[in-house]
């Protein structure tokens, strides 16, 4: 099946290279180079300048005679300067002829400009979601997803999410076993836990601009086993509970309880990745009380339990010395 990757001027290079590598590896594992035929399509015959100083010599351009396309994915441009009218017209004409249509990162703006997303549920890079909502108010924008499938339309979050989408399409086309083999070889996981806006609690604390809120965040990070109720945190800030909750949410776009959860999860994830401590030991050390409480927090926030998280993300040098082999059984290809 032919996979067409539309590369606008100034394309984010990984929007093209990432999905292409996933599809190529899947075809290689199948032993059939024609299982996926990846083509880069540009707006003209000239090389496309991408980010990172890369240039793409496209296989085809939009003025070439049409060829059948199975899946058409549109790359994004970080500067939003790539809404080329001829490319928009080409998308309008070709969209109804493909089995699957999608975008990577800010490529969704090209699809929106072509009028192909009306009433659709979509995502994009978290930093661009507000702009997408403002410019296209008829779209249902969910900025907390790695990728979204709405009918035959697929949209993704930023940059590396294009690889997540490509892997999901491989699973859809050829099954879970092949997708797992490709994911293992490329040192990816088949389905990422959590959403793209679930930042580290430590990073969130650094981003905060309110000194009282920063002090409370640091107190949380330093006292994970302490009682961290809203009342206790408000006392630390010297504010009323109601005002503290309002200011915290306004500044951090999350509740104090959500921040406490994130802080404890951060600490637990680090210990799961880099230590051999038992789940019960980690749960107590991170303020969850017991392993069952920690498990509920992991499921609620990440969609997987701490045991499965450890299996996926244990460091090569941490824990009991286990390593995640990047190659399938049988060694290097």
CA pair distance 249, 154, nearest whole angstrom: 31
For tokens 């980690």, name the residue.
282
Of 20, 26, 25, which is closest to residue 40 (Cα–Cα)?
20
Under DSSP, the state recorded for 107 is G
Quickly count: other Cβ atoms within 10 Å of residue 93's Cβ.
Answer: 12
CA pair distance 7, 3, nearest whole angstrom: 13
The answer to whether 10 touches 78, Cβ cutoff 8 Å, is yes
Of 65, 47, 68, which is closest to residue 56 (Cα–Cα)?
47
Q: Which of 105, 128, 154, 286 is catalytic?
A: 105
139: which 2 tokens? 């779209």
Active site residue 128: no
Q: Give me the torsion for CA of 21, 23, 26, 31, rounded to 10°.
A: -100
CA pair distance 240, 230, nearest whole angstrom: 10
Q: Which residues are catalytic?
A: 105
């Amino acid at each position: 099946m032919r996979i067409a990757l539309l590369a606008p001027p100034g394309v984010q290079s990984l929007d093209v290279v990432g999905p292409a590598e996933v599809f190529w590896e899947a075809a290689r594992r199948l032993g059939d180079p024609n299982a996926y035929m990846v083509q880069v399509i540009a707006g003209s015959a000239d090389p496309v300048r991408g980010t990172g100083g890369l240039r793409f010599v496209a296989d085809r351009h939009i003025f070439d005679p049409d060829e059948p396309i199975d899946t058409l994915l549109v790359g994004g441009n970080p500067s939003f300067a790539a809404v080329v009218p001829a490319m928009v017209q080409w998308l309008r004409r070709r969209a109804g002829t493909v089995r699957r249509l999608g975008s990577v990162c800010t490529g969704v703006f090209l699809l929106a400009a072509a009028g192909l997303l009306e009433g659709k549920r979509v995502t994009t890079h978290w930093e661009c979601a507000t702009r997408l909502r403002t410019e296209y108010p008829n779209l249902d924008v969910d900025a907390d997803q790695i990728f979204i499938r709405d009918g035959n339309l697929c949209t993704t979050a930023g940059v590396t999410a294009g690889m997540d989408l490509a892997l999901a399409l491989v699973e859809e086309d050829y099954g879970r076993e092949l997708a797992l083999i490709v994911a293992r070889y490329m040192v990816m996981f088949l389905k990422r836990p959590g959403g793209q806006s679930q930042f580290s609690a430590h990073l969130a604390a650094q981003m905060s601009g309110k000194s009282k809120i920063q002090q409370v965040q640091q107190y949380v990070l330093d006292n994970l086993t302490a009682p961290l109720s809203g009342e206790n945190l408000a006392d630390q800030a010297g504010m009323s509970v109601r005002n503290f909750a309002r200011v915290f949410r306004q500044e951090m776009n999350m509740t104090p309880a959500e921040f406490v959860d994130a802080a404890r999860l951060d600490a637990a994830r680090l210990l799961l990745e880099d230590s051999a401590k038992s789940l019960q030991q980690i749960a107590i050390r991170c303020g969850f009380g017991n392993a069952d409480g920690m498990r509920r927090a992991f499921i609620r926030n990440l969609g997987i339990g701490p045991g499965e998280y450890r299996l996926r993300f244990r460091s090569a040098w941490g824990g009991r010395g286990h390593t995640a082999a990047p190659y399938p059984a049988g060694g290097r290809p």
